[in-house]
Structure 1
């Protein structure tokens, strides 16, 4: 549209200039075809005259400058006399001569008006070659008198008008082009946003669509009290994990929590909710598929193929910490997970951790220091003391910090937080055992010296996180800083265990102080 508009305006300008030039030429050279009639002339002022005795008669439509008023002839038919009494003719448009004068100049002669035999009907609209008399000086102007020829009044108006119109056209085309370009860029930006928004916003599926995506629930990935997880695939070969919820008769709180919280979260360390199904009593959650299963498989398995190295475990711990920090600080409302444990930490193809299962999550404002709860929620072994008893303090985001600390210690021990010895059937509390070893500077022995520093750092951070009272625990922001910093700058936390259990001594003997090396799998 902009280019069509530009060519239309340009054509209009050239057409206007062409018509204006034709009018000027017709008025300047022909004096006919609708040209205005001359004003009434005084017989004495406009009488026939000449420059010299042998010069041609000067009569209408020609007039002699400085001897006759300008109303004695047409504009552009002005003649003048040279000092040698020659008659000079100035052509009106662009100073160009009639073509016939060119032939005279080529043979060294002058162009003059041709005289006719009938003197009463003389017309000076034809030229002839001669050695003197009327001289056509299109390019020299008034060279004979030493003056410089100025453009005619018509030409003075045509050139500025044409340039002005051309400038208007160019400015208009530029503005239209810029406006169209800006509109196209805005439209493209909106389209990109809508495309990204559609990709990020969870999609609602029918139960029939869920069955189609999972190929009629063909491949099972896992099962638990919450439901069964199946592997599925979209038409574009994107794999997903569909969790079919079991509690179809419940009030749907877990389902609402999951969709309402994770549906608005977009973080590299939080699993992405692709879609959901709420088709009557049939409910399902569709997640991105993570091929390496959960962290629990790698820290609780004795199989060599399921093991990880300490550096990778440290990266996983840092990723989980950043994910929890985002839940606590990165959203409009603070999200408390209340079920941080290895089973709910999924790993992608690069072993990047992603927090999952938000069925127990709660939302609260960042200014809110405590959360009201009617019953304890979470998994035994990872639940903070204040969730069980308010004697330890109020339930808050520090409850997730405690769960994360227990997860770190489980990563270090490669085992659950309780351990049954072969010599003694009494349980030994692993966090208390490892605290005693570090506090007595016995340390933890691993095969590689570099790995020992990583193990010590993860252990100290975990012990800080499991302090009994919420106020003694660091925030997740501080935890991230501790994991990213140098282990030599970390100090041992206070003893989180209020009493000394006699079973600890017995248990200490049953534990091998050398931990199993968790080697990285290919």
Structure 2
């Protein structure tokens, strides 16, 4: 695995823009991995400070069973990305089994603390929720148009064979876990976006065991029932009438993105078009 990664990096030495750091370097940058920002399916993220004084987010990758393919995919793809809605890769570390990716630091932190206002966070306006939703959609659309999910895989179609499902529980598309639903394609990202959009608009976790009514424990199911019965979906009591209409349309869009079969879900290009039309 390590030979594969080294061979890949050496073959791209003239093209790679990110800086290569030693493991000792990133220990110093993160002050011994003292300030943990979060954790996902691929590893833990720590706050760091570069020698220039610039803050950074250091993602320490967990052990992979994919012959280093996760690391190669991320470096090969993200080092070429320059988009306002996608985080920038600054550097990386490869030292034996220790792999890390150094990204630009997002000073405002996680979106989670802003959209779940009942948990003591800072609430966002409906307009700001819309702007963020559109920005995220544009970032994913850019990736789908310019790179493609299967770019580094030896396949002639748009589906990818997976040996292990990776991602964050609650946002992973069903086809990542159940092969009979269909092959894994860019539509898996559409599903994840739909789940995120549902939480943003609803301003609550999709799965909430402490909901007032049992029917609201899984929010998408409750929303689907409300829409099917043509009932109003009140997510913010003081919202203006036009805001309520936009919110309902965004919820319907989220439902479209999280359908069971990938073929029934829209492309991210279509999602961006629909979002832009809401504010036209």
Which band: TM-score by shorter chain? 0.7 to 0.9
Is the 1:222–1:229 Cα contact (8 Å) retained in structure 2?
yes
Equivalent positions of 1:230-249 (< 5 A) are 230-247=46-63
Residue matched to 1:415: 204
Report if aligned partners of 1:435, 1:463 keep a CA contact under 8 Å in 2. Answer: yes
CA offset at residue 251 of structure 1? 4.5
Which structure ranks higher in relative contact order (CA pairs < 8 Å, sequence separation ≥ 6)?
2
Q: Does 1:432 align with 2:224?
A: no
Give the superposition deviation at 1:444: 1.8
1:306 equivalenced with 2:132 (yes/no): no
Query: Residue 90 of structure 1 aligns with which residue?
Result: none
Tell me the residue number matched to 1:335: 149
Query: Partner of 2:254 in structure 1?
Result: 462
Structure 2 residues not aligned, in runs of 5+: 1-13
Cα distance 1:328–1:365, how it changes in 2: closer, same or farther (>3 A)?
farther
Query: Is the counterpart of residue 369 in structure 1 residue 158 in structure 2?
Result: yes
Q: 1:267 to 1:433 in 2, by over 3 A?
A: same
Q: Distance in 2 between matches of 1:442 and 1:227?
A: 41
Residue 73 (structure 2) aligns with: 257
Tell me how far 1:304 sits from its aligned partner: 4.5
Structure showing greater Rg: 1
| Equivalent runs, 1:101-500 vs 2, <5 Å | 201-223=17-39, 226-247=42-63, 251-300=67-116, 302-331=118-147, 334-335=148-149, 363=152, 368-420=157-209, 428-445=217-234, 446=236, 447-449=238-240, 450-486=242-278
Q: How has the CA–CA distance of structure 1 residues 281 and 268 changed in structure 2, closer, same or farther, with 3 Å as cutoff?
A: same
**Normalising by the residue count of structure 1, what TM-score does the alignment of the two structures yield?**
0.46
Gaps of 5+ in 1: 1-197, 337-361, 489-522
TM, length-normalised to structure 2: 0.80
Q: What's the offset of the Cα at 1:367? A: 6.6
Mapped to 1, the partners of 2:213 and 2:196 lie a distance apart of 25
Shift of residue 329 of structure 1?
A: 0.6
The 1:241–1:436 alpha-carbon spacing in structure 2 relative to 1, beyond 3 Å, is same
Q: Name the CA distance, whole Å, in 1 between partners of 2:89 and 2:208.
A: 36
TM-superposed CA distance for 1:377, in Å, is 3.3
Partner of 1:418: helix, strand, or coil? coil
Following superposition, the deviation at residue 308 of structure 1 comes to 1.3
Distance 1:422 1:219 in 2: 32
CA distance in 1, matches of 2:39, 2:190: 27
Output the CA distance in 1 between the equivalents of 2:187 and 2:199: 19
**Cα shift at 1:268:** 1.4
* Contact kept in structure 2, 1:248 and 1:282, CA below 8 Å: no
1:134-168, CA deviations, whole angstroms, 9 ceiling, x for partnerless residues? Answer: xxxxxxxxxxxxxxxxxxxxxxxxxxxxxxxxxxx
Query: Does the C-alpha gap of structure 1 residues 398 and 366 become closer, same or farther in structure 2, counting only changes over 3 Å?
Result: farther
Q: Does the Cα contact within 8 Å between 2:137 and 2:272 map onto a contact in 1? A: yes
**Distance 1:387-1:241 versus aligned 2 partners, 3 A rule:** closer
